[in-house]
Structure 1
Amino acid sequence: MPGLMQGRGKALLLSIAILITAGAAAVEAWRWSHPTMHRATPAVSVGGQAVDVELKELSRSLIPMPPDTPSAHASTLATLPGEHMLAFWWAGSRESGPNVKVYASRWSGSSWSAAWEVASRDSLARELGFGVRRIGNPVAWTDHRGTIHLYVVATGLGGWAASRIVHLSSTSEGARFAVRRVLPLSPMFNTSALVRTSPVGLTDGGWWLPAYFEMGIKYPMMISFDPEGEPKWFARIGESDSTLQPTIAAISASEVRAWMRDASDDKRVQQALSRDGGENWEDLPALDLPNDNTSLATVRLASGKFLMLHNHVVAGGSSRSILRLSSSSDAHTWEHVVDIAKGSAGDEFSYPTLQQVGDELHVTYTHQRQAIAHHRFRIHSSASP
């Protein structure tokens, strides 16, 4: 009898624990699905007719790699005062390798600095208080105070589908970073949340961070942060269960467009539209641009013109052997501008990032999985004298 009572007591405690966990998950899901606390509009140039631009290439180079890192991938850019920038990427012996770390390099206006270490499995584990098995994609953003926010994909157990997003910040222009939190995105122990593409700034100093889920199914998301860097709400982008790595641009103060990597048999750039500032989304027909499960990047220039970097596919080539720059005035019809990189089948020029700094356009991407390439262009608009 005492054993029976003891067994019932354990079962009751287990049931209570499950109910508490489920209740907390339900409250968290409700909080995130009711975006009422932070409703700012995009801080990009919107409205009016987009002005045509011409791009003149000024330079191209490879960002200096740290020693003993034969593999490099997934770059991101953050602006600094004086039209300087920071680039972040991961590098190590191979993807998911135990020695993979996030590195940074500073652009001074004419050259890149030597790379320095920003985060590793060990450094994240020390600050988080639990083991980190692998680290991956970084995404960076500079807020209105000059604080750099760095979002890094990290896993404890399992593959990338078990990832979490670690939010770090730096008030020393990237010299030192401290962990702020693991983003609370999923009731399933915050797993299967990843980042890849650049945020979009808001009028009040906040920003939208594109993200995605990929445990079993795949779908894109958008997370809204307030000016203090606090996450306030997130929304699923569309209803597709085979798209990921969204890249976002504002069409107007309320209309937002997202373009996605396609993991389906359609193999085209997928897109979705929000008419209420990112709260609700509807899927749109795919663009007439090939996408064989590869990441892409977009930016809206100060002139209003949209640019997209994406992998083009041709007969005899492969999914990442051509990196193409296309432009659009309406975010609907896209025209070929130039092939940033072009190789043979099996070559890789992938995971691009775009950043406008003054009258220059900066492009970074993975070069053959061995380094991060950087191209710099002068932007000349037809409205310029």
Structure 2
Amino acid sequence: MTRRLFPASPGVQVHASTLLPLPGRGVLVSWFAGPHEGHPDTAIRVLRRADGQDIIVDLFPGDAQPHWNPVLTWGPDGAVWLFFKRGHRIDEWTTWVAVSPDEGRTWREPFELVPGDRSGGRGPVRQAPVHVGSTWLAAGSVEEWTTPRWDCFVDLSTDDGDSWRQVRIPLDHAATEGAGCIQPWVVPGTETALVMLARSTAGAVFRSVTDDPAVWPELRPTALPNNNSGIAVVDLPGGALACVHNDAAGDWGARSRLVVSRSDDDGLTWRQVAVLENGTPGGADGAPTAAGATGIVTTGDGEYSYPSAVLVDDELWITYSWQRRSIALARLPIDELG
């Protein structure tokens, strides 16, 4: 495994990275950066690494609203699309899209993904949209903090992202400990067309499978532990799934160990196959000290979390938050995930 860190400036926290491979093994990496989650000066930062150069830009500074959770992808027009959330409270997020026609060198002014929608954010929240036949599927979620109640959805577009239809994913809240599930990932399955895996407050990753992207059964817990922190899921050659996650359980649990687990049965059962970060011996465990509608409170000490992952040739490329001081990029050969 190889790893590279992209440090932040002193006093700046960085989090929620996303990555997009470029031709020639270049890469775009984006994250949000600012004094802390929910601070008005928190902005989207984009790093372009290509042709032996690193170029870092902050997008749309001075907006006076926090920016959150960027998601990079290739748009239907062949340009780079960057989705991000905007708003002081998570339950009041709106989703915006910035487009780069030149692989991240320059960016156009953003537009709202679903104009006027105030449901708490539409479109993708962590994973890049995926193509299911002629449909563009964006996995998202909403967080109601007053109750609290969290739910997953998919947004479906059949017109290259011009319009979106939201489909909520059922969850038995009465039988689920805590607020619920958020930040789902959707990947191809072997027994069914699509597998959804989601973060939860109930100590485990939750799962749903379907052959129809517009109809999903209830999310149910798996044996894969979850600490109410983000995961990343990739389908491997041959049909296996790889999940990058913290291996702790519990609501707002430790974020100190970051590992890769493998499933050969569409996410029903899992085994750990790699360790990216083993924590800080004798140090902090990275768990948040408080959480609310304006984000979590944390020093970041001992935290290795919030992965994003893609396959590039014969490697799994993973970005993640490194104690909120840096974004790490790890490259792991997929033959080490057997």
Do the structures match in fold with TM over 0.5? Answer: yes
Partner residue of 1:363 out of 309, 318, 335: 318
Equivalent in the alignment of 1:172: 102
- Name which structure has the greater RCO, CA cutoff 8 Å, separation 6+: 1
Indicate if the aligned counterparts of 2:49 and 2:55 stay in contact, CA closer than 8 A: no
1:208 aligns with 2:137: yes
Indicate if the aligned counterparts of 1:64 and 1:112 stay in contact, CA closer than 8 A: no
Shift of 1:227: 6.4
1:60 aligns with 2:15: no
Shift of 1:268: 1.1
Q: How does 1:266-277 map to 2 (within 5 A)?
A: 266-276=202-212
Question: Alignment partner of 1:82: what SS?
Answer: helix
1:238 aligns with 2:170: yes
| Partner deviation per Cα, 1:145-197 (whole Å, 9 max, x = no partner) | 53111111101xx5111111112211111122224532338x8x423126432
Question: Alignment partner of 1:120: what SS?
Answer: coil
| Percent identical residues | 25
Equivalent in the alignment of 2:275: 339
Equivalent in the alignment of 2:23: 81
Distance in 2 of aligned mates of 1:274 and 1:240: 18
Indicate if the aligned counterparts of 2:48 and 2:105 stay in contact, CA closer than 8 A: no
User: Relative to total residues, which structure has the larger helix share, 1 or 2?
Assistant: 1
One-letter amino acid of the counterpart of residue 299, structure 1: V
Number of residues paired by the alignment? Answer: 307
| Partner deviation per Cα, 1:206-249 (whole Å, 9 max, x = no partner) | 53211111124210111123463323322112234511111111
Shift of 1:204: 5.4
One-letter amino acid of the counterpart of residue 78, structure 1: L
Max Rg structure: 1
One-letter amino acid of the counterpart of residue 189, structure 2: I
TM-score normalized by the length of structure 1: 0.72
Pick closer, same or farther for the CA change 1:376–1:208 going to 2, 3 Å: same
Structure 2 spans left out of the alignment, 5+ residues: 174-179, 287-301
One-letter amino acid of the counterpart of residue 318, structure 2: V
| Partner deviation per Cα, 1:92-122 (whole Å, 9 max, x = no partner) | 222122221111112338x771421223352
Q: How does 1:31-50 map to 2 (within 5 A)?
A: none
Distance in 1 of aligned mates of 2:93 and 2:249: 33
CA RMSD of aligned residues (A): 2.8
Equivalent in the alignment of 1:47: none
Q: How does 1:178-189 map to 2 (within 5 A)?
A: 178-179=108-109, 181-184=111-114, 189=117
One-letter amino acid of the counterpart of residue 317, structure 2: H
One-letter amino acid of the counterpart of residue 24, structure 2: G
Shift of 1:363: 0.6
Indicate if the aligned counterparts of 1:223 and 1:231 stay in contact, CA closer than 8 A: no
Equivalent in the alignment of 1:224: 156
Pick closer, same or farther for the CA change 1:69–1:240 going to 2, 3 Å: farther
Distance in 1 of aligned mates of 2:109 and 2:217: 35
1:326 aligns with 2:261: yes
Partner residue of 1:250 out of 183, 188, 198: 188
Indicate if the aligned counterparts of 1:311 and 1:321 stay in contact, CA closer than 8 A: yes
Shift of 1:298: 0.1
1:299 aligns with 2:218: no
Distance in 2 of aligned mates of 1:119 and 1:204: 34
One-letter amino acid of the counterpart of residue 19, structure 2: L
Indicate if the aligned counterparts of 1:219 and 1:240 stay in contact, CA closer than 8 A: no
| Partner deviation per Cα, 1:273-302 (whole Å, 9 max, x = no partner) | 2231x1111124311122121111101123
Structure 1 spans left out of the alignment, 5+ residues: 1-56, 123-131
Equivalent in the alignment of 1:52: none
